[in-house]
Amino acid sequence: MQSLTLESATEKAPGALARLLPRLHAKAFTGGLIVLTFVLVGVFGPYLAPHDPNKQQLTAMMKPPQGIGAVHVLGTDNLGRDIFSRVIHGTRVSLLVAFAVVFVSGLIGITLGAVSGYFGGKADFLIQKLVEVIWAFPPLLLGITIMAFLGQGLFNLILALVAQRWIPYCRVVRGQALSLRSRDFVTAAQSLGSTHGKIILRHIIPNLIQTSLVIGTFAMASSIIAEASLSFLGVGVPPHIPTWGTMLADARIYISTAWWLPLFPGACIFITVLGINLLGDALRDILDPRLKRTGSGL
């Protein structure tokens, strides 16, 4: 009375798995190393940053990168603030927002999707109509509207990003819950007198974790881009909090004269999103019991 596992799937397709694993290892290792590096930088940021990210030194404005061992490794911005320190502190904010958005979105989406698929009927109709209404709004426009109404702030930014990012969880989980509710182990639990809540928590949701992990990795990448976009437009976190998006916003008028201002925060966004996407792609291949994807490697 258990659902299909990865082990049972690999027993049916050992040849396919043997051809797939070397490529999966490359993607998983590369993506995991990138993500781990940025997580460590975010956690130990205050100890790694050589300067206060908001300290202004007007006598050292617009200094180009000076190299390792210099006072300003990556140069300074238009107010004399150290770019290296601001990039490190921006890592903390971006990853904090990404992890918070993925956790809250997953909690809401998985719960609503499991309830919708398991019960069906009116509950399914109401939840899916709510999904259709919210899904009709463009994500960036909805985020700007929420931030304009609530004001700038880290909590408000997370709320604005969560507003629509629970929907992919809900839609995918609902489809799987519709299939799981007719499985033998669910029928057996019902015949033994288990309540609906216990069945959902102990039998439905545990079988949805693998798919939710894959959705979460890609949602994390999109959350980082969305946070940078809102901060770039000036409706993200307050200006005194350094983020990659605000750094790009400050650098946009100097892009032709000071190339280092947009380069480093933009490179951080690109590398972080690339690493998360590689890790998510590898997880999707590993956790897919049907092994439909072959992976393209690196």
Give the pLDDT of residue 34. Answer: 92
Residues 243, 154 contacting (CB under 8 angstroms): no
Residue 47 to residue 289: CA distance in whole angstroms: 43
Give the pLDDT of residue 267. Answer: 92
Residue spans of the domains in the chain: they are 24-287
Residues 240, 152 contacting (CB under 8 angstroms): no
* pLDDT tens digit sequence for 94-110: 888 889 999 999 999 99
* pLDDT for residue 21 is more than 60: no
Q: Is 274 exposed, middle or buried (0-12, 13-18, 19+ CB in 10 A)?
A: middle
Give the pLDDT of residue 70. Answer: 78
Under the banding of pLDDT at 50, 70 and 90, the label for residue 218 is: confident
Q: Phi and psi of 177, rounded to 5°?
A: -65, -35
Under the banding of pLDDT at 50, 70 and 90, the label for residue 3 is: very low
Give the pLDDT of residue 295. Answer: 43
Residues 6+ apart with CB under 8 A from 245: 227, 228, 229, 230, 231, 232, 236, 265
* pLDDT tens digit sequence for 237-253: 887 888 888 888 888 88
Q: What residue has token string 């999904």? A: 131
Highest mean pLDDT: which of 187-196, 266-275, 282-291?
266-275
Give the pLDDT of residue 140. Answer: 85
* pLDDT for residue 118 is more than 90: no
Classify domain 24-287 at the CATH topology level: MetI-like fold (1.10.3720)
* pLDDT for residue 296 is more than 80: no
* pLDDT for residue 232 is more than 50: yes
pLDDT above 90 coverage of the chain, percent: 16
Q: Which of 285, 200, 206 is nearest to 2 (CA)?
A: 206
- Mean pLDDT rounded to a whole number for the chain: 82
Three-state helix/strand/coil letters over the chain: CCCCCHHHHHHHCHHHHHHHHHHHHHHHHHHHHHHHHHHHHHHCHHHHCCCCCCCCCHHHCCCCCCCCCCCCCCCECCCCCEHHHHHHHHHHHHHHHHHHHHHHHHHHHHHHHHHHHHHCHHHHHHHHHHHHHHHCCCHHHHHHHHHHHHCCCHHHHHHHHHHHHCHHHHHHHHHHHHHHCCCHHHHHHHHCCCCHHHHHHHHHHHHHHHHHHHHHHHHHHHHHHHHHHHHHCCCCCCCCCCCHHHHHHHHHHHCCCCCHHHHHHHHHHHHHHHHHHHHHHHHHHHHCCCCCCCCCCC
Long-range pairs of 70-77 with CB within 8 A, sequence gap ≥ 24:
74/260, 74/264, 75/258, 75/260, 75/261, 77/247, 77/250, 77/251, 77/258, 77/261
